[in-house]
């Protein structure tokens, strides 16, 4: 969300009064001050811009110093009314004729005003613009603040720089307008319905809705989180990008409580949900992360915070005051100097002052050793099961095809390949030679490398040998009848091989490791399932994988696990390695490459993993305004010290959740939270990605509730529940989710809506209206669901995904999308303005399933095409190219591309769904017949979370349970 500029009439300035925690407004021409938001301009000239509304009767300005007047906290942000005025005046404001005289008429005033303003003109947006500005740019909101002109004399080439600021592409402007509209929609809607008495000091409007008996509005799952409203002067520039996109970082609360006791009282969680190394997709309109090219990195001397849009410049711009600890720091000498052009540069155009997400190029002080090249060590299981399933052949082919896609910009990338069964097979790949030779090491207890060189080779130099090996790999082991897998020993060998440099080990295994180090037993006793002992199956069986993970993390080695077994593979234990080394686990249960769907899914996902532009040797640290402490961390990494997360390799699109605590009461009106991730890019450059976010503080519970972000809270609850299921039991994990939800709603009911006693209603704030649905989806999710029928492997894998998926993919994973295809609107499936148009999502209840219909259910990992048993032959013919419903078989399916419009639309929707979200996953498509294959059918039905399922309650029942808890405890 962009900062909201305050739309004040000309000549007025908003000032913050720390004592009464409110803004007051100063008329700069007369020096008068008042508490009320000025609606009429103070100067007497005929004003063409703002339609003059009658000044409110109470607006008689109080000449007494507002600072002395004790007054209840009252903040003024632009209301719908002001918005209207501004937009009403906007047409006229665009006419240069009206602008020019105005500006000319008040040169003195403008000049005087500039002196009073903060450097950088964080002040209110003025309606006039510098002469010579292009008329079309004169839109409120992006106008460079008038304060610029005066300040720039000292720091840069005044008007020229303003142009660079002003001349943003037109679409950027319209974007900004959309954002502004979004920000304003809330107040406008809620104006009438807001809970009485709260609008006055409320940044976010609060709007209570009742959930009992209502169908949840699933379309609202995509709506943006409550905006981060900050006072207008908080940022030094007026850039719309001073707050990060929620996909980088979002907070469960968009305003920060001032004290820990307030937070405890509100029962709301306070946590950051972030995916700092998010992928960048141009098709989604993503902006690449701006890079600060010169290596001038201004950091606070005391708290080491990076300079950001929320600092203030003091002493004429020679020093800057840290927004976190308040220390005054010197501005680096080269800060205002354009090194490339060799001339003074405009400070206000610097990227770190205009963007919340920036990358700095780090000088050598930030390096422990020179940037390492990307290194990949493949461990391929070549036991009988692996070869027979076709995994070896598919993997070898995929690696071969992706040799060019591996990050290898500077031709330094190295790879090694180890094949493992009951012995280790190393491959010597000498540069220049076209042949690879195999070296077998049968000793598994004391792993050694058979050869000091040529095992880990440069991809470019040894390309012919690598290619010939990959071509022959599957054939080499074709006749192997060895059963057994020494994965642990192979991991140790790979670690010895690449430990010196760090890098990534990619282990592909199709059977449980049974020999050598880290051997595991099939411990999936079906009697344990559904009991309180089940959580022991979710914990690691052997400490080898944890200790080895620590070794790897120390040496900057990450491990990715690709697991293929048809039987139990102990995902819970093996996934420890990726968890603590910042890798990822991928599970392909019952993989068989002879089924083209399996082969395509694996090859696609593996290929995407290989071609990811990974970051190496990374550490993440979160800094925040004094008083805020990071108390717990969830995600795939190793916690190296109290607040330092070590990631040997940063994969794209991985989610981290960081819980916050307040150690001291917060005094200031805004707080700043900054995440810095120091990493080496795969192109050999050390970089720091910095994400800065600013939030207002509040002392009102109502405000906390109004600014709560249901998606971030869901992500937090998912992480807490998974943690609980490991330390305690799945039962406790489920009740944790339900209890946290009902605690929140109890506080809301008692403190915010102030209705005491039992009620037939379940009151929730509008912005949390989907939280009960998501919580219901979470307790019924495979990772946490009650029941004795879920294999522990699937559970452990689902839990991995719950803790690592970024919010964009996590929401559909918990609350799948459900479309009706047979009666979709005519435009659905055709190409619209933003790509393929999807049908409207439906509520997840089987009431919507019709006997003659065709439906699509997808959760980002799997897609189910549900065919009703009375489907007309025409539909079956059009979509599946089969004569009748009876000829259709359920299961994994590749949709044929047929020459009829309906088939094309369905194919377009399926294709769009597959590439909708960030991440490497390519969902399988299953055809589900409504009267056959009971297992598949009940799997698909289990995704319809609003329904009753076995003994899991339906959404309506879940709401009643929550309501009873809320009523019971009040």
Partner 1 sequence: MGGEGWLFLFAVLMAAVLLFTMVFFIIMFSDLECDYINPIDLCNKLNQFVLPEMIAHAFLTLCFLLSGQWLAFLLNAPLVGYNVNKIMSKNHMYDATEIFRTLSGHKKESFIKLGFYLVSFFYYLYRMILALISESD
Residue 268 or residue 549: which is nearer to partner 1 going by CB? 549
Nearer to partner 1, 462 or 542 (CB): 542
State residue 507 phi and psi, 5-degree precision: -105, 125
- CA R_g for the chain: 30
Nearest CB to partner 1, comparing residues 719 and 742 = 719
DSSP per residue, 741-785: HHHHHHHIIIIIS---S--SS-EEEGGGTTHHHHHHHHHTSTTT-
- Kindly give, in sequence order, each residue whose CB lies less than 8 Å from that of residue 429, ignoring residues fewer than 6 positions away: 417, 436, 454, 455, 457, 462, 465, 466, 469
Q: How far is the CB of 665 from partner 1 (least distance, A)?
A: 22
Of the pair 636, 668, the CB lying nearest partner 1 is at: 636
Point out which residues pair with 415 in neighbouring strands.
Answer: 376, 457
CB of 530 to partner 1, least distance (A): 21
Cβ-based nearer residue to partner 1, 59 or 632: 632
Q: How far is the CB of 526 from partner 1 (least distance, A)?
A: 23
Q: Would you call 467 helix, strand, or coil by DSSP? A: helix
Find, among 354, 377, 595, 384, the residue nearest to 507 by Cα: 377
Q: Return d(Cα 860, Cα 773) in angstroms, integer.
A: 18
Both structure tokens of 528: 């344990």
141: left (phi over 0), alpha (psi -120 to 50) or beta: left
Q: Write down the least CB distance from residue 640 to partner 1, Å.
A: 6
Closer to partner 1 by CB, 182 or 644: give it: 644
Residue 680 near residue 737, CB atoms below 8 Å: no
- Smallest gap from residue 68 Cβ to partner 1 (A): 44
Four-point Cα dihedral 662, 664, 669, 675, nearest 10: -50
DSSP string, 794-829: HHHHHHHHHHHS-HHHHHHHHS-EEEE-TT--TTTT
Q: Return the residue matching tokens 């005391």.
A: 302
- In the complex, what is the shortest distance from the CB of residue 646 to partner 1, in angstroms, rounded to a whole number? 10
Q: Which is nearer to partner 1, 539 or 938 (CB)?
A: 539
Find the shortest distance in angstroms from Cβ 722 to partner 1: 13
Work out how close the CB of 53 gets to partner 1 at its nearest, in angstroms, rounded to a whole number: 57
Nearer to partner 1, 606 or 633 (CB): 633
Q: Which of 190, 248, 791 is nearest to 528 (CA)?
A: 791
Q: What token pair was written down for 349? A: 């155009």
Instruction: State whether the Cα torsion 954-957-959-961 is positive or negative.
Output: negative
Task: Tell me the C-alpha distance between 924 and 939, whole Å.
Answer: 14
- Helix locations, 883-923, DSSP H: 901-914
Q: Which helix (H) or strand (E) holds 927?
A: strand 924-929
Contact 309, 241 (CB under 8 A): no
Q: Which is nearer to partner 1, 106 or 638 (CB)?
A: 638
CB of 589 to partner 1, least distance (A): 27
Residues near 431 by beta carbon (within 8 Å), at least 6 away in sequence: 454, 457, 458, 461, 462, 465
119 neighbors 76 (Cβ within 8 angstroms)? no
Q: How far is the CB of 723 from partner 1 (least distance, A)?
A: 8
Name the residue nearer to partner 1 (CB basis): 237 or 584. Answer: 584
For partner 1, give the closer residue by CB, 581 or 753. 581
Question: In angstroms, rounded to a whole number, what is the distance separating the alpha carbons of residues 233 and 123?
Answer: 6
Judged by CB, which is closer to partner 1: 265, or 554?
A: 554
CB of 738 to partner 1, least distance (A): 23
Given a contact cutoff of 8 angstroms between Cβ atoms, the answer to whether 295 and 361 are in contact is yes
| Tokens representing residue 912 in the block | 């769009």
CA 282 to chain centroid? 16
Smallest distance from partner 1 to CB 91, Å = 58
Distance of CA 408 to the CA centre of its chain: 27
Site residues (CB under 8 A) for partner 1? 546, 549-550, 554, 576, 580, 632-633, 638-642, 723
Could you tell me the smallest distance in angstroms from the CB atom of residue 877 to partner 1?
Answer: 56
Q: Which residue, among 506, 581, 569, has the nearest Cα to 920 in the 3D structure?
A: 506
Buried b (16+ CB within 10 A) or exposed e, 611-632: ebebbbbbbbbbbbbbbbbbee
Shorter beta-carbon distance to partner 1: residue 80 or 639 = 639
Nearest approach, Cβ of 633 to partner 1 (angstroms)?
7
In the bound state with partner 1, the residue whose beta carbon lies nearer, of 723 and 881, is 723
Q: Which is nearer to partner 1, 597 or 723 (CB)?
A: 723
Token code pair at residue 397: 């082919």
Q: Read off the DSSP letter of residue 904.
A: H
Residue 132 burial by CB count (10 A; 0-12/13-18/19+): exposed, middle or buried? Answer: exposed
CB of 554 or CB of 965, closer to partner 1: 554
User: Minimum distance from CB of 547 to partner 1 (Å)?
Assistant: 8
Q: Nearest distance from residue 612's CB to partner 1, in Å? A: 25
User: Of 462 and 581, which CB lies nearer to partner 1 in the complex structure?
Assistant: 581
The residues with which 438 forms a beta bridge, in sequence order, are 427
Residue 777 and residue 774: Cα distance in Å, rounded? 5
The secondary structure of residue 315, as a DSSP letter, is G
Rounded Cα distance, 655 and 652, in Å? 9
Q: How far is the CB of 548 from partner 1 (least distance, A)?
A: 11
């Amino acid at each position: 969300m962009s900062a909201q500029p305050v739309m004040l009439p000309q000549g007025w300035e908003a000032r913050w009064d720390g004592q009464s925690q409110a803004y007051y407004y100063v008329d700069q021409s007369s020096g008068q001050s008042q508490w009320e938001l000025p609606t009429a301009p103070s100067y007497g000239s005929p004003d063409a811009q703002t339609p003059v509304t009658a000044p409110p009767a109470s607006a008689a300005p109080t000449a007494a110093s507002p600072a002395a007047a004790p007054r209840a906290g009252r903040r003024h942000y632009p209301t719908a009314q002001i918005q209207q005025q501004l937009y009403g005046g906007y047409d006229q404001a665009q006419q240069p004729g009206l602008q020019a005289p105005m500006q000319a008429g008040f040169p003195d005033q403008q000049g005087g005003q500039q002196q009073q303003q903060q450097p950088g003109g964080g002040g209110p947006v003025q309606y006039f613009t510098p002469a010579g500005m292009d008329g079309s740019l004169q839109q409120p909101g992006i106008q460079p603040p008038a304060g610029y002109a005066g300040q720039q004399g000292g720091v840069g080439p005044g008007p020229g720089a303003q142009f660079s600021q002003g001349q943003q592409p037109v679409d950027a402007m319209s974007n900004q307008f959309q954002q502004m509209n979004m920000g304003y929609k809330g107040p406008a809607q809620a104006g009438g319905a807001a809970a009485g008495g709260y609008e006055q000091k409320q940044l976010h409007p609060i709007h209570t809705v009742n959930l009992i008996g209502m169908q949840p509005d699933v379309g609202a799952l995509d709506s943006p989180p409550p905006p981060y409203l900050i006072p207008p002067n908080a940022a030094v520039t007026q850039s719309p990008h001073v707050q990060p996109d929620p996909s980088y970082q979002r907070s469960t609360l968009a305003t920060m409580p001032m004290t820990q006791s307030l937070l405890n009282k509100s029962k709301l969680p306070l946590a950051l949900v972030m995916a700092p190394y998010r992928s960048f997709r141009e098709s989604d309109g993503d902006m690449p992360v701006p890079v600060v090219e010169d290596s001038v990195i201004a950091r606070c001397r005391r708290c080491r915070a990076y300079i950001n849009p929320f600092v203030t410049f003091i002493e004429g711009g020679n020093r800057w005051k840290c927004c976190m600890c308040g220390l005054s720091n010197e501005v680096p000498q080269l800060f205002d100097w354009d090194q490339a052009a060799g001339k003074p540069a405009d400070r206000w155009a610097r990227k770190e002052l205009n963007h919340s997400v920036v990358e700095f190029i780090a000088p050598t002080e930030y390096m422990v050793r020179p940037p390492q090249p990307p290194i990949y060590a493949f461990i391929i299981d070549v036991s009988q099961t692996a070869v027979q399933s076709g995994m070896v052949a598919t993997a070898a082919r995929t690696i071969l095809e992706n040799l060019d896609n591996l990050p290898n910009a500077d031709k330094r990338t190295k790879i090694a390949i180890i094949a493992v069964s009951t012995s280790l097979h190393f491959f010597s790949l000498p540069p220049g030679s076209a042949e690879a030779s195999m070296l077998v090491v049968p000793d598994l207890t004391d792993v050694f490398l058979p050869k000091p060189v040529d095992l880990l080779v440069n991809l470019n130099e040894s390309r012919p040998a690598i290619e010939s090996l990959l071509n022959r790999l599957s054939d080499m082991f074709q006749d192997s009848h060895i059963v057994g897998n020494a994965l642990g020993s192979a991991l140790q060998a790979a670690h010895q091989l690449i430990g010196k440099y760090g890098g990534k080990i990619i282990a592909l295994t199709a059977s449980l490791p049974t020999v050598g180090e880290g051997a595991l037993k099939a411990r999936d006793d079906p009697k344990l399932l559904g009991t309180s002992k089940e959580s022991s199956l979710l914990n690691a069986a052997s400490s080898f994988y944890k200790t080895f993970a620590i070794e790897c993390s120390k040496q900057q080695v990450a491990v990715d696990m690709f697991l293929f077994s048809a039987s139990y593979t102990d995902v819970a234990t093996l996934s420890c390695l990726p968890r603590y080394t910042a890798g990822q686990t991928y599970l392909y249960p019952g993989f068989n490459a002879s089924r083209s769907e399996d082969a395509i899914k694996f090859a696609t996902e593996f290929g995407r993993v290989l071609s990811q532009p990974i970051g190496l040797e990374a550490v993440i640290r979160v800094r925040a305004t004094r008083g805020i402490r990071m108390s717990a961390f969830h995600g795939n990494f190793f916690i190296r010290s109290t607040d330092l997360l070590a990631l040997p390799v940063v994969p794209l699109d991985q989610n981290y959740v960081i819980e916050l605590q307040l150690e001291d009461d917060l005094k200031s009106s805004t707080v700043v939270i900054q995440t810095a991730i120091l990493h080496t890019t795969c192109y050999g450059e050390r970089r720091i990605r910095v994400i800065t976010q600013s939030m207002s503080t509040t002392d009102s519970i109502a405000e906390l509730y109004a600014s709560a972000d249901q998606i971030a809270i869901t992500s937090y609850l998912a992480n807490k529940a998974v943690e609980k299921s490991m330390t305690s039991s799945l039962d406790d994990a489920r009740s944790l989710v339900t209890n946290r939800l009902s605690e929140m709603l109890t506080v809301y009911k008692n403190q915010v809506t102030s209705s005491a006693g039992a009620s037939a209603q379940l009151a929730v704030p509008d912005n949390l209206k989907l939280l009960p649905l998501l919580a219901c989806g979470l307790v019924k999710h495979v990772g946490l669901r009650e029941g004795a029928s879920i294999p522990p492997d699937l559970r452990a894998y689902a839990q991995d995904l719950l803790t690592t998926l970024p919010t964009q993919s996590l929401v559909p994973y918990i609350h799948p999308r459900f479309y009706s295809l047979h009666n979709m609107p005519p435009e659905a499936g055709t190409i619209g303005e933003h790509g393929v148009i999807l049908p409207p999502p439906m509520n997840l209840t089987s009431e919507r399933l019709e006997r003659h219909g065709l439906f699509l259910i997808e959760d980002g990992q799997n897609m189910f095409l549900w065919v009703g048993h009375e489907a007309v032959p025409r539909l079956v013919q059009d979509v599946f190219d089969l004569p009748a419903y009876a000829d259709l078989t359920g299961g994994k399916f590749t949709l044929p591309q047929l020459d009829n419009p309906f088939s094309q639309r369905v194919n377009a929707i399926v294709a769009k769904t597959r590439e909708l979200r960030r991440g490497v996953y390519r969902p399988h498509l299953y055809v589900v017949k409504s009267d056959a294959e009971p297992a598949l059918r009940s799997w698909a039905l289990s995704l319809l979370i609003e329904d009753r399922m076995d003994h899991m309650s339906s959404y309506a029942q879940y709401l009643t349970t929550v309501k009873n808890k809320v009523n019971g405890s009040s």
